[in-house]
């Protein structure tokens, strides 16, 4: 949960690269964390990285 919270904060601050890394860490710890996947996809979409946004 800590990595998710950090990622969300970084996303809100506009630090999208750090947000991606922390969402990925949250998912690695809990592969069933649907909200982390959703937010990761949204960040990747913001970065116009649509190929990676689709799982």
Task: Tell me: pLDDT of 6 over 90.
Answer: yes
What residues contact 43, with CB distance under 8 A and at least 6 apart?
7, 11, 16, 19, 20, 23
Task: Tell me: pLDDT of 55 over 70.
Answer: no
The pLDDT assigned to 49 comes to 87
The pLDDT assigned to 34 comes to 96
Summarize pLDDT for 19-52 with one digit per residue, the tens. Answer: 999 999 999 999 999 999 999 999 999 998 888 8
Domains, in order of start, for the chain: 2-53 (1.25.40.10)
The pLDDT assigned to 51 comes to 80
Measured CA distances, 38 to 15, 21, 27, 45, 50 (Å): 17, 14, 11, 11, 13
Does the pTM of the predicted model rise above 0.75? yes
């Amino acid at each position: 949960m800590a990595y998710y919270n950090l990622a969300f904060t970084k996303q809100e601050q506009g630090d999208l690269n750090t947000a991606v890394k922390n969402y990925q860490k949250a998912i690695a710890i809990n592969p069933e964390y649907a909200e982390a996947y959703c937010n990761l996809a949204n960040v990747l979409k913001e970065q116009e990285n649509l190929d990676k946004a689709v799982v």
